Amino acid sequence: MQYKKHPERIWRHIFSMPFIYMMIVPVAILDIFLIVYHGVCFRLYKLPLIKRSQHIKIDRQKLQYLKWYEKIHCAYCGYANGVAHYFTAIAAETEKYWCGIKHAKDPNFLAPEHHKDFLEYGDEKGYKKLVK
């Protein structure tokens, strides 16, 4: 709620709203494609399905002390960030299934948590041992 600390920026906030809310279209399309990809491919790979409800939570709009437009913002935010979280979980499981090799060391790259058990970059012996 950092925006509330900057009431002098009201016009900037209003100006940004169309750019924020126009993202609902690609987010919803991504969500649909994720549901299809996840449902088909994870079953084919015999990977455990990821519960969508553990990633997408839309509940803050039920808070009585929020203004009507804040409730809309909260519902949208819960959905959009939830889809992003759901996408990340599916992508991580897909990467673990298909790859499992770390990226080259780079101090500017924040490796995801699921990379911790991957083979080191350039570990040819480990790779050959793994795929035998």
Provide the residue ranges of all domains of the chain, joining segments of one domain with +.
Answer: 2-98, 101-132
Q: Is the pLDDT of residue 108 over 80?
A: yes
The two structure tokens encoding residue 112? 């995801």
Q: Which long-range contacts (CB under 8 A, 24 or more apart) does 21-24 make?
A: 21/76, 23/80, 24/76, 24/80
Summarize pLDDT for 8-44 with one digit per residue, the tens: 788 998 999 999 999 999 999 999 999 999 999 999 9
**Dihedral (Cα; 103, 104, 110, 115), 10-degree rounding:** 40
Confidence of residue 3 (pLDDT cuts 50, 70, 90): confident
The two structure tokens encoding residue 37? 């990809």
pLDDT value at position 45? 96
Residues 6+ apart with CB under 8 A from 103: 109, 111, 115, 121
Q: Give the Cα separation of 50 and 43 in Å (integer).
A: 11
pLDDT value at position 5? 73
pLDDT value at position 6? 79
Summarize pLDDT for 71-103 with one digit per residue, the tens: 999 999 999 999 999 999 999 999 999 998 999
